[in-house]
Structure 1
């Protein structure tokens, strides 16, 4: 007969090994996270990119659940596990978890709303500031002047931030196919020349924007490592003579740099 003290020791060891296994799964998960670290990636549209909430006792459990459900990423707030893009990721039979895309203990804040904006010459009343006015009505948009090659737009965030996520709503009631071949860059100095080549590449969007007419689909661009800067910009990098940039909303989610 095994003494009760030995059984207690065996039980304690088993729980230690369970937590060690979960920790290793979470650590390995950082290597296979769908949110790339350290280099720009293609933006995603929100086709099927919905959120699902689950109760979870720990972030490790949340990461394992993200793996099980093949989610693109997760957010854990201490009690609730939010999975984004379930079924769009890769589930690993070994139980390898996905890491959350942003630093632990940090909450991203939207920092572009109603900030100063600049851009290529605007078309009619579709001025640059309409892209950060918080109004996603169909004609509350920025649109560049017709026949302007390589149109661009940028927002001055007013301070330096570590930018992790940029969310774009292109025009969704017409001309959706105009939104393609886009570069999103982040800089530390104001550049109104339209060149923007000194800005660091944050992400790209090949497009074209696939939304059916009247359906608001967001273009989501994320960097797990974050890019430091004060100015967030957007530019089409192909020469399209009659295709304007139609920008309904441009939102920047970041952490203060100091």
Structure 2
């Protein structure tokens, strides 16, 4: 089943801009080759591009752009290169394949239900194990860190099948480029939303949109007003690769 969410006009404008930047090497600078530029950015005043580059360096950010005194910094807090960080113009990579890279990647999650339902069970490549959130969590969530900026094609989620499959409903999948702050992921761009309720016969749910999303972190979060469990048997994140 496909779950699609229309992206904002701002995101469409961004992708149009990136197409131009890729051909002119105009504004966006990166510390290492990246497949895309995330939508999220923080803006600062800067007297020059040199000051902007220093700001990005101090913020451990792999991306910046400078124009008319405004310094836009992307993915702050995600680049560990330290003094080895050197910025060069962004150049779009040739992406020829799509693959799941979520298996075994670092993860975070809200409080688990019990020791039988660990967060790592959501991306351990096994459909017989599951992560289940604690019943006291109002908006339960699970996050995977892809460990670098990627162009996310789609996210496939297999809810825990069986007797309580109906618990999986009103679930968002978002893609972020900066580490989470607290448990509010609303600033991360939305990849897709599933209304539900889920039935086991649906199999895997696919969260995607027409323009794809650029980022490092993927969150699956239940956003229903009623407190209930988030139950994940398997999560796959498919990205575009060279």
Which of 165, 169, 182 aligns to 1:193? It is: 182
SS state at 1:191 partner = coil
Cα distance in 2 between the residues matched to 1:169 and 1:245:
12
SS state at 1:225 partner = coil
Q: Which has the larger radius of gyration?
A: 1
Instruction: Verify the 8 A CA contact 1:188 1:229 in the aligned structure 2.
Output: yes
Which of 124, 127, 133 aligns to 2:114? It is: 124
Cα distance in 2 between the residues matched to 1:122 and 1:38:
32
Provide the residue aligned with 1:142 in structure 2.
131
Cα distance in 1 between the residues matched to 2:164 and 2:182:
26
Cα distance in 2 between the residues matched to 1:165 and 1:238:
22
| Structure 2 unaligned residues grouped into runs of 5+ | 9-93
Q: How much does 1:36 deviate?
A: 6.7
Please report the TM-score for the alignment, with normalisation by the length of structure 1: 0.56
Q: Does 1:218 align with 2:204?
A: yes
Cα distance in 2 between the residues matched to 1:182 and 1:172:
16
Q: How much does 1:192 deviate?
A: 5.2
Cα distance in 1 between the residues matched to 2:193 and 2:229:
18
Q: Does 1:157 align with 2:146?
A: yes
Instruction: Verify the 8 A CA contact 1:152 1:234 in the aligned structure 2.
Output: yes
Cα distance in 2 between the residues matched to 1:134 and 1:195:
27
Task: Map residues 236-255 of structure 1 onto 2, 5 A cutoff.
Answer: 236-241=222-227, 243-255=228-240
Cα distance in 2 between the residues matched to 1:225 and 1:247:
26
Provide the residue aligned with 1:232 in structure 2.
218
Distance 1:210 1:195, change over 3 A: same
Aligned length: 156
After TM superposition, where is structure 1 displaced by more than 6 Å over at least 4 residues in a row?
34-37
SS state at 1:130 partner = helix
Instruction: Verify the 8 A CA contact 1:179 1:207 in the aligned structure 2.
Output: yes
Distance 1:189 1:144, change over 3 A: same
Please report the TM-score for the alignment, with normalisation by the length of structure 2: 0.59
Instruction: Verify the 8 A CA contact 2:3 2:208 in the aligned structure 1.
Output: yes
Q: How much does 1:238 deviate?
A: 1.5
Distance 1:170 1:128, change over 3 A: same
Distance 1:106 1:38, change over 3 A: farther
Task: With a CA cutoff of 8 Å and minimum separation of 6, indicate the structure with the bigger relative contact order.
Answer: 2
Q: Deviations over 1:200-237 (max 9, x none)?
A: 1111000111225xxx7110112231100000001111
Provide the residue aligned with 2:103 in structure 1.
113
Distance 1:199 1:37, change over 3 A: closer
Instruction: Verify the 8 A CA contact 1:118 1:192 in the aligned structure 2.
Output: no
Cα distance in 1 between the residues matched to 2:154 and 2:217:
13
